[in-house]
Amino acid sequence: MRASILVLAGDGIGPEVTAEGTRVLRAVGMVFGHDFILRDALLGGCAIDQYGTALPPETLAAARGSDAILLGAVGGPKWDDPSAEVRPEQGLLGIRRELGLYANLRPVTIHPRLVGASPLRPEVLAGVDLLVVRELIGGIYFGEKKREPERASDLCVYTGDEIRRVVRRAAELARKRRKKLTSVDKANVLESSRLWRRITEHVVRQEYPDLQLEHVLVDACAMYLARRPSSFDVIVTENMFGDILTDEASVLAGSMGLLPSASLGDGPRGLYEPIHGSAPDIAGRGIANPYATILSVAMLLRHSLGLEKEALAVETAVATAIDRGVLTADVAAPGQGVSTAQAGQMVVDILKERGKA
């Protein structure tokens, strides 16, 4: 296969982890006989510094001309002024909206060797295998915003069509798993959530009657993720709730550095990124965990390029590296963490071992 992949390294640790992601992509190409054409562009704070905008037109054009996009992270203290008109996060929100990437998939599983890295008891973590499908280009993040000296507002708006398409995507995924769908809202308070619940109920009952559907309020869901996370299969929810809940869910796996994500629309093109931020406190130190980015590469291979065998090979290579104790500081014993590059190299070496087998 020949495919064009745009790499948006971004800010902070973004360049460090995407460097390992691209190394893995090249290794996959070599082992399986694919030609991946990798191009770079700017997004976020680095784009503001060079172009004065977080999403330059050149970057958006390159994204539209690519088969998939691999993203590192955006933001950092340099651009944190709340009063600034241009902020790195605008680039991230903008590219998601411009490409129509309305469904964000965030899987959460627990590697047996890393159970001790989570603050939760091992028995609570037993059997955890969940997928959060977060609506990505609607809701309060994209609603009308107003700010005055003593008053501010952010409008949360959802339409029926926006809800239907993300619920259908989540339902299709649930059908391929354990056939349980949990819709998370705040319908006891918010009108947008009442609409969300009504439409979700109708879509699932009419189109996916084989699924078990439950509705859970967002505050209760936050509690259940800590008390009984294995009870969830696929969770579908709106933009802000999904953002918060998946950060909480990262605690189950032991570190944000382990969790990938895929942002998808109606076509095969997607944007793939670790769920963590730019981590400016460790940027440049070579200790960031690249596994979330590498697992995002696996999702890229699966969802945008249709390369299931290659995706499984990458996921297996990461699991094998963890089994071998190749762990960065966020999940390793004190003083025993390997470097970002060493972790990435181990995944590459395991892939090449497979190629020689």
List the catalytic residues.
Answer: 141, 186, 219, 243, 247
Label residue 149 exposed, middle or buried (CB < 10 Å: 0-12, 13-18, 19+): exposed
Which single residue is written with the structure tokens 């382990």?
258
E strands within the chain? 2-10, 35-40, 68-73, 103-109, 129-135, 145-148, 151-154, 180-185, 212-217, 234-237, 260-264, 270-274
Question: Do residues 9 and 40 touch, judged by C-beta distance below 8 A?
Answer: yes
Q: What is the DSSP string of 10-45?
A: ESTTHHHHHHHHHHHHHHHHHHHT-EEEEEE---TH
Residues 213, 214, 217, 218, Cα dihedral to 10°: -60
Closest to 5 in 3D by CA, of 84, 61, 66: 66
Angstrom distance (rounded) from CA 345 to CA 271: 24
317: three-class secondary structure by DSSP = helix
Angstrom distance (rounded) from CA 332 to CA 117: 8
Structure tokens at 107: 């899987």
Angstrom distance (rounded) from CA 87 to CA 278: 14
